[in-house]
Structure formats: C-alpha cells, structure tokens
Amino acid sequence: MRIAIVDDEEAETHDLKKMLMCFADSRRLNISYDCFADGTAFLAAISHRKYDLVFMDIYMENTDGIQTALKMRRLCPDCCLIFLTSSQEHMAQAFPCHAFDYLLKPLDQNRLLRTLYDFLRVFPENQQYLNLSVGKQIIPVLYSHLEYICTDSNYCIVRAQEQYRCRIPFNKLKSTLEKDERFCTINRGILVNLDYVDCMEDLVCRMKSGVSFPMNTKKKTELKQILINYRFNIRRKQLSRRE
C-alpha cells in the first residue's frame, strides 16, 4: 500500500508515520509512504506516481489543502483521501473533494485506527498482483502499481514503482493482465494501464509520467474508444458509491 502525507508540520507528520507503522505491523501490511510539505510538490509527484491513500492537511502555510485535493482528483480520481484539520469549519467546502474521512488534530490514535480499519474494508488487502522473476528474486507487483509493459528482445520491461527487466514472454503477461479492464495492448509488444494514460492523440499514447508510445494505426479509433469507455465506467462507479 502506497501512502502520501501532505502536511507542513514535521512533528505531526512524524506522529502520523509512527501510528501508520504500528498499524501496518499489527496487520502485517506492506506499506510505503512519501511526505510532502506543500501541495505543489505533491501534485508534481502524482503526475507519474499513484497512491492508494492520501492524508491531506487542510491548513498549510503555502498551500490550500482543499484546492490541492480538487486538483488531485483530476489526476487520481480513485485514491482514498483523508483530510487532517485543526478545525471543522471548512468541512463543507471539502465535500466536493469526496474525502473518505476528516481527522481532527492533534490526531487521536484510536480514531485513526477506526478510520484505517474502515479503509481496509473498502480497499482489500488481497489485491491482484504479479510475481515477477527478476534475476534470482521473485518480486510481487500490484496491478494498481503497473504503469506499462513493453518487449525488449527476449525480455519484458515492466514499469511499476520501479522498473524491472524480466525474461518472460510478453504474450503471457498480456493474456493475464487483459482480463482486467485497466490494461490494454495499444501496439505490438506494448501494454498500458489506462489509469496511467494521460491522453491518446493521433497515433501517440502519452502516459502521465511523460513517456509516449506509438499506437496501432489500424486500431487507433478502437483504442481511443476503449479509453473513453473505461473513464466513463470509472466515473459511473464513483457516482454510484456516493448515492
């Protein structure tokens, strides 16, 4: 599970990290976290990195947490957002951000734990993942962290939180991943996770990380429609959860 903490208070960030690590240890969860002191740095990071859970301070010296969260929603519509606030007065303004919860500062550990247990009910621990054979190691990679896969001679380049070069047939990965609606083969030997696609223009598929791939000429219209349908279905699921 990948977590982002956006807060300019070092002491409170430190306390939150300690609580998160205790929770992860008690549930035997594998978590990682990145900390950001302002919204600008956080928004730059999520243009090419996906988080499962985001803790966002509403009040920061150089950042409006609500405005940052609204911008985040355009880049990462599905991540779970938890606001941190020293006052309840701006909660109404935060509703359009579709926050999972609001936690008052200073953080109460029991209150945080209840929220994290609720989060795990929505975000199951048994997410789908690949076991990649890299050298002499087996590396598990969550589907949600996969950005793209492309062939490289007899190997595959797998881009996730890190980049891996694996000796595995591309078609084997393709047949496994295309059972999941997130994944789409856009050209021979190139498969992308639609969550990480910025746009498909002309014959180019541009990823949020800045990487670009050529699209299959004969299938460009079909591929663009797949992206449109996928984004529509994601939006529809979000709306149904709110009703």
Render the burial of 87-125: b for 16+ CB within 10 Å, e for the rest.
eeeeeeebeebebbbbbebeeeeeebeebbeebeeebee
What mean pLDDT, rounded, does the chain reach?
Answer: 88
Q: Indicate if 34 and 11 belong to the same structural domain.
A: yes
Torsion sign (Cα): 231, 232, 234, 235: positive
Can you give the pLDDT at residue 73?
Answer: 87
The radius of gyration of the chain from alpha carbons, rounded to an integer in Å, stands at 19
78-129 confidence digits (pLDDT tens)? 789 999 988 777 677 777 888 889 999 999 999 999 999 888 877 755 567 8
Can you give the pLDDT at residue 43?
Answer: 93
Q: Indicate if 105 and 134 belong to the same structural domain.
A: no
Spatial distance between the Cα atoms of 33 and 116, rounded to a whole number of angstroms: 15
Can you give the pLDDT at residue 115?
Answer: 92
Distances (CA, A) of 72 to 41, 42, 59, 195, 236: 12, 9, 16, 14, 19
Render the burial of 229-239: b for 16+ CB within 10 Å, e for the rest.
ebeeebeeeee
Q: Indicate if 104 and 145 belong to the same structural domain.
A: no
163-197 confidence digits (pLDDT tens)? 999 999 999 999 999 988 999 999 999 999 999 99
Can you give the pLDDT at residue 89?
Answer: 75
User: Does residue 138 or residue 170 have the better pLDDT?
Assistant: 170
Q: Indicate if 46 and 111 belong to the same structural domain.
A: yes
User: Does residue 28 or residue 125 have the better pLDDT?
Assistant: 28
42-71 confidence digits (pLDDT tens)? 999 988 788 889 999 988 887 888 999 999
Q: Indicate if 101 and 8 belong to the same structural domain.
A: yes
Can you give the pLDDT at residue 59?
Answer: 84
Spatial distance between the Cα atoms of 239 and 234, rounded to a whole number of angstroms: 9
Q: Indicate if 138 and 238 belong to the same structural domain.
A: yes
Is residue 220 predicted with pLDDT exceeding 90?
yes
Domain that holds residue 17: 2-122
Q: Indicate if 106 and 66 belong to the same structural domain.
A: yes
Query: Where a domain ends, among 105, 122, 139?
Result: 122
Spatial distance between the Cα atoms of 1 and 28, rounded to a whole number of angstroms: 11
State if pTM tops 0.75: no
- CATH number, position 219: 2.40.50.1020
Q: Indicate if 115 and 134 belong to the same structural domain.
A: no
Distances (CA, A) of 237 to 43, 68, 182: 24, 23, 14
Domain count within the chain = 2
Can you give the pLDDT at residue 63?
Answer: 80
Query: Where a domain ends, among 78, 105, 122?
Result: 122
Can you give the pLDDT at residue 75?
Answer: 82
Q: Indicate if 166 and 185 belong to the same structural domain.
A: yes
- CATH number, position 45: 3.40.50.2300
Count the Cβ atoms, other than its own, within 10 Å of residue 156: 22
Query: Which residues, including other chains, have CB under 8 Å from residue 45's CB and lie 6 or more apart?
Result: 4, 34, 36
Neighbour-count burial of 221, counting CB atoms closer than 10 A to its CB (0-12 exposed, 13-18 middle, 19+ buried): exposed
Q: Indicate if 165 and 228 belong to the same structural domain.
A: yes
Mean pLDDT (whole number) for 189-213: 94
Query: Where a domain ends, among 122, 143, 163?
Result: 122
Q: Indicate if 69 and 44 belong to the same structural domain.
A: yes
**Which of 180, 184, 188 is closest to 130 using CA atoms?**
180
Neighbour-count burial of 73, counting CB atoms closer than 10 A to its CB (0-12 exposed, 13-18 middle, 19+ buried): middle
Can you give the pLDDT at residue 239?
Answer: 63
Can you give the pLDDT at residue 118?
Answer: 86
**Which of 228, 227, 223, 196 is closest to 212 using CA atoms?**
196
Q: Indicate if 155 and 232 belong to the same structural domain.
A: yes
